[in-house]
Amino acid sequence: MAWCLPLLVAVLAGFAVSLAGATDHIVGANHGWNPNIDYSLWSGNQTFYVGDLISFRYQKGTHNVFEVNQTGYDNCTMAGVAGNWTSGKDFIPLNEPRRYYFICGNGLCQAGMKVAITVHPLKHNATGDGAKSHGGSGARGRRRSGRHCAVIDLLRLFLEELKNIVCV
């Protein structure tokens, strides 16, 4: 029974490696999160999927990132704040298929520091051909295929059963 935890950790580490195919979308690519940049143009050239990350790179203390609702986005206000990041290197997981709205809360939203994105459900396809998406500045991320998703689902079931059998 003492080997239960190390075994589960090893299996979970393998599982985590399989999820490494998520794309990190760097807002503004090499321009980062700064005023007077057309983030609508940038986001229009991206395809976001559940499991991807959106990351904001900026000078800490000068800018920040707030997730707001559509009203907050449209009016550059703090309406519907759902998150606040201030590190200067913020990595935000996109866990749900929906519309996300981000603004700078330091009064620079009116200068263009806002971005809206649409996150799509992860596509499962039987051919094994995964769609690719761009992470900005030419970076490419692997997209998990339908076959890959099935393996992940089976791994989850296996881990649950293993935990129930071995760790009880």
DSSP for 94-147, written as a single string:
--SSSEEEEE-TTTTGGGT-EEEEEEEPPP--TT-----EE-STT-EE----HH
Q: In order along the chain (168 residues), what is the average pLDDT of each group of 10 residues?
A: 48 45 94 96 97 98 97 97 98 98 96 98 59 41 43 52 61
CATH number at residue 67: 2.60.40.420
**11 domain residue, yes or no:** no
pTM for this prediction: 0.65
Asked if the structure places residue 103 within a domain, the reply is yes
The answer as to whether 163 is a domain residue is no
Give the model's pLDDT for residue 160. Answer: 62
In the chain, how many domains are there? 1
Structural domain containing residue 76: 21-157
